[in-house]
Chains A and B, each alone.
Chain A
Amino acid sequence: MSSNKPYQIPRVLSIQSHVVHGFVGNKCAAFILQLYGFEVDLINSVHFSNHTGYKTVKGTRLRVDELQSIFEGLLANDILEYDYILTGYMGSGELLHVVAEHVKLIKTKFPHVKYVCDPVIGDNNKLYVDRSCIEVYKNELLPLADIVTPNDFEIKLLIGKQSNDTDNENENEDNSIWQSLRTLHSMGPSHIIISSIPADKIGRSENILQMRASSKISNDQYQTFRIDFPRLESSFTGTGDSFSALILAWLHKENNLVCACEKAISILHQILLKTIELSKPISIHNTCGNELCLIESKAIIESGQILFRAVFDK
């Protein structure tokens, strides 16, 4: 705990997007973390009508000087004090740099702080951000991060690996994933979670997805594990942001990565099932699939039921 007061609930600083309608970024993080009893300070990196998968997106981005200003305000009032920091999508390298500066400041003052970084760069070979962000993640944010949650596209960009098209051997792919994790560890984070690798990439059924995670215990000791879970037919937005919030919450409650991953992936899966079950009509202007039914999943989120268990690697 950051303070000596035993009744002080844990405090999170979350820097992510704000959408007026729907659930991505801070809309996901705030709901989940507040439900779990965290005090959440929310810096909104954008203020958009809705997520960028809709036909129309209107709104503004937080400028670098505005972000600086917000931090100055919190500092001047002595309220820049946290147990956790959480970041997600950030549109520019400059913004990320300001974030890095202040994460460093916070961690220097409060060494116990854990920084959960979702290095949002892109997916399926497509970039969501400009290239400048990749450099800032590599050089400034990863060295500060305790936990990172890249997807397999992001991990390759961060470690500077080329996609190897000729690599078809399942065993090599498996090995190459573990190598990538090891390389990423050396860049800073002691905990890494790749939340969903399509299992057919590693020789498993097309209907299964696999999470891979790794904790660096010492210079040559790692605890690695995987969790298999079913792929669902539909497409959703906000799953990554919900996942990182769940990871943060359960890591705090359980104090170990294995449990946190089991909880997070199980709860996320149940939220997706609930979203499908409620089959709300999707706006025809939304090209990205279902908005998560987070509000309707409150009981699911609170119950924290585990459906999928980790399997340890040797």
Chain B
Amino acid sequence: MSVKTKRIPRVLSIQSHVVHGFVGNKCATFILQLYGFEVDVINSVHYSNHTGYKVVKGSRLSVDELRAIFQGLIANEIFEYDYILTGYMGSGELLAVIAEYVRLIKSKSPHVKYLCDPVIGDNGKLYVDQSCIEMYKSVILPLADIVTPNDFELEQLVGTQVKSDPDRYEEQVLWQSIQSLHKMGPTHIIVSSISAAKLGGKEDMLQMYASAKSSDGQYQTFRIDFPYIRGCFTGTGDLFSALILAWFHKEKNLISACEKSISVLHQVLLKTIELCDSINIHNTCGNELKLIESKTAIEAAETLFHAIIIDANIVQ
């Protein structure tokens, strides 16, 4: 009988697949496998490329097909994970099915952590229909442990306006919204890249706000300032949530996970700019991330930006 060796952590990732480029599962799989995770990959779509290109061809996973996949994994008793990760999902029905099976996994293995990137939209624009927003609020968020909304998505989920004025946030309102989001389920919330100009800071800085709620009701809240990099990129959100999952697992605390993730993301963006020649004219969305070329930076994971702990008194 051999000595039982500790097995590597297992992730179930349900995101888009693009033949070319890096969004969704293409990002998540590369990052997580590089960091030593076993990744089970359910592709919610199979597209030639991301939707910012002039032409997009391919197919979407139907609700029946998604159920069938889950049933196959269950029947073979390989439906066992340490983490679940979801990103962009185009339909409320798919989200409903996912919630069903996340619930099943979590009831069988209570230690499982579900990281949900609630992809709804950005900059005032919706990417999905109302049914998705309703699903996130009603069935997904109660199951999620870590969520990574942007500021627009935070507003959509808690139903409050984070900014009273189109160009200014109140930090107070932001924290209140985060607290409301905690009440909907997640113990860990990361609101990535709010422009510092919107919060009255320097225009060429971005800010990440995060909050971890402990079991005794205490909040640990912090923020990370990092430079805005000029350029348009796709896949940054998907890259970020994969990094958060990996570093949260390794570091076991949200602050370190965020510091690492923001730092690595920053280096990937710098590498992408460095290596980018002319952008494909059919791609209206800017640069594909140079993930493969960033392998060394991803593995080295140098911390460039540190968290600023927010005084708990500021948060009501």
Which of A41-49, A124-132, A138-146, A192-200 lies at the binding interface? A41-49
CB pair B75 A278 closer than 8 Å: no
Find A77's partner among B40, B54, B78, B292 (CB 8 Å cutoff). Answer: B54
* A31 smallest CB distance to B (angstroms): 6
Residue of A nearest to B26 (CB): A42
Which residues of chain B from 51 to 81 have a CB within 8 Å of any chain A CB? 53-59, 61, 65, 68-69, 71-73, 75-78
A47–B287 CA distance with the chains assembled, in angstroms = 28
CB pair A76 B20 closer than 8 Å: no
Which residues of chain A from 14 to 61 have a CB within 8 Å of any chain B CB? 18, 20-22, 27, 30-31, 34-35, 37-39, 41-44, 47-50, 54-60
CB pair A70 B72 closer than 8 Å: no
Q: Does A284 contact B (CB under 8 A)?
A: yes
Q: Does A314 contact B (CB under 8 A)?
A: no
Contacts of A38 in B (CB 8 A): 292
Q: Does A74 contact B (CB under 8 A)?
A: yes
Find A70's partner among B48, B65, B281 (CB 8 Å cutoff). Answer: B48
* B4 smallest CB distance to A (angstroms): 9
Find B76's partner among A5, A37, A56 (CB 8 Å cutoff). Answer: A56
CB pair A79 B77 closer than 8 Å: no
CB pair B57 A79 closer than 8 Å: no
Residue of A nearest to B277 (CB): A5
Q: Does B30 contact A (CB under 8 A)?
A: yes
Contacts of B77 in A (CB 8 A): 283-285
- How many A-B contacts if CB must be within 8 Å? 148
Q: A20-B73, A39-B292, A283-B76 are in contact. Are A74 and B40 (CB under 8 A)?
A: no
Residue of B nearest to A39 (CB): B292
* B185 smallest CB distance to A (angstroms): 26
Residue of B nearest to A57 (CB): B72
Find B49's partner among A22, A58, A77, A280 (CB 8 Å cutoff). Answer: A77
Which residues of chain B from 150 to 174 have a CB within 8 Å of any chain A CB? none
A114–B116 CA distance with the chains assembled, in angstroms = 41
CB pair B72 A74 closer than 8 Å: no
CB pair A70 B36 closer than 8 Å: no
Contacts of A311 in B (CB 8 A): none
Contacts of B131 in A (CB 8 A): none
Residue of A nearest to B38 (CB): A295
A59–B73 CA distance with the chains assembled, in angstroms = 11
Q: Does A180 contact B (CB under 8 A)?
A: no
Q: A9-B292, A21-B40, A69-B58 are in contact. Are A285 and B75 (CB under 8 A)?
A: yes
Q: Does A279 contact B (CB under 8 A)?
A: yes
Find A37's partner among B5, B55, B65, B292 (CB 8 Å cutoff). Answer: B292
* A184 smallest CB distance to B (angstroms): 30
Residue of B nearest to A27 (CB): B41
Q: Does A286 contact B (CB under 8 A)?
A: yes
CB pair B277 A279 closer than 8 Å: no
Residue of B nearest to A14 (CB): B19
Q: Does A171 contact B (CB under 8 A)?
A: no
Q: A74-B19, A279-B2 are in contact. Are A18 and B43 (CB under 8 A)?
A: yes
Find A76's partner among B277, B282, B295 (CB 8 Å cutoff). Answer: B282
Q: What 1/0 mask marks residues of chain A from 280 to 314 whose CB sits below 8 Å from any chain B CB?
A: 10011110000000011010000000000000000
Find A74's partner among B7, B34, B48, B59 (CB 8 Å cutoff). Answer: B48
A contacts, CB < 8 Å to B: 5, 7, 9, 18, 20-22, 27, 30-31, 34-35, 37-39, 41-44, 47-50, 54-60, 62, 66, 69-70, 72-74, 76-79, 278-280, 283-286, 295-296, 298
B contacts, CB < 8 Å to A: 2, 5, 7-8, 17, 19-20, 26, 29-30, 33-34, 36-38, 40-43, 46-49, 53-59, 61, 65, 68-69, 71-73, 75-78, 275, 277, 280-283, 292-293, 295
Can you list 26 A-B pairs with a CB-CB distance of less than 8 A? Answer: A20-B40, A20-B41, A20-B69, A27-B41, A30-B29, A31-B33, A35-B34, A39-B292, A42-B19, A48-B72, A49-B76, A58-B71, A59-B69, A66-B58, A69-B57, A70-B57, A72-B48, A72-B55, A73-B47, A73-B55, A74-B20, A76-B54, A76-B282, A79-B20, A285-B77, A298-B34
| New contact pairs (18) apart from A41-B19, A69-B58, A76-B54, CB-CB < 8 Å | A18-B43, A35-B34, A37-B295, A49-B73, A49-B76, A50-B72, A56-B71, A59-B69, A69-B57, A73-B19, A73-B47, A74-B49, A76-B282, A77-B280, A278-B7, A279-B5, A280-B7, A286-B76
Closest CB pairs A-B (n = 9): A73-B48, A49-B72, A58-B72, A73-B57, A76-B55, A56-B75, A77-B282, A285-B76, A58-B68
